[in-house]
Amino acid sequence: MGETQELFAAIEVDQLTIDGIGATQVASLRYFDPAGSFGAVVQNVIGRPLPQALRADSATIGGDANFILAWRSPTETLLLSTDQRALVDLKERLAGATDGCMVDQTGGLCAVRVCGGRAGDLLLRLGAGASIPGVGEARSSRLAELPVLALCVQQGTLILLVERVYLKHFLGWITATAADLQ
């Protein structure tokens, strides 16, 4: 996902900053039952259970490894981390699981960070009010005509996950929309 930062410079307008989140790893955690043994291993390693429907949560372990867990569907959670080694460790611990799997999505998904008081205005213009997550929420919707997962684990900061093949199109919409907000 480091290419997100390389594809565009940060956009800054009044009360709004948009940038890529470099060095973030993304994995899809797919399971049959979030309360099963797969979910228990994830909780043991990360210190948080798999999120409930439409929820997102962050965790820090050992003072270094930062994780975000974002609900994507009843049988899938996205895991974001800036610590590649911690993600590899989790993958190794989950390797023998029979009720779930971890799939590296780093090359397929890109993260765009939207910060500031006008973040909601931007998403409203790109999609709809239902696409704007509150703190602790993850919402799948269509923004700029594309499927996007929007999540919020910190007040005033949204993370938008979009498939890499659509990133250029998505950033074009964001750039034009941000310019209208000036």
pLDDT tens digits, residue range 115-159? 999 999 999 999 988 889 999 999 999 999 999 999 999 999 999
Mean pLDDT of 46-58: 95
Token pair of 8, please?
A: 């565009």
Q: What is the pLDDT of residue 41?
A: 95
Question: In Å, what is the CA distance from 170 to each residue of 24, 50, 155, 181?
Answer: 19, 29, 23, 17
- Confidence band, pLDDT 50/70/90 cuts, at residue 65: low
- Confidence band, pLDDT 50/70/90 cuts, at residue 22: confident
- Confidence band, pLDDT 50/70/90 cuts, at residue 4: low
Beta strands at 11-13 and 16-20: parallel, antiparallel or unpaired: antiparallel
What's the rounded Cα separation, in Å, for the pair 16 and 13?
5
Q: What is the pLDDT of residue 6?
A: 58
What's the rounded Cα separation, in Å, for the pair 99 and 21?
31
Which domains are seen in the chain, by residue range?
3-22+107-181 (3.30.1360.120), 25-104 (3.30.70.1400)
pLDDT tens digits, residue range 73-122? 999 999 999 888 888 999 999 999 999 999 999 999 999 999 999 999 99
Q: What is the pLDDT of residue 62?
A: 64
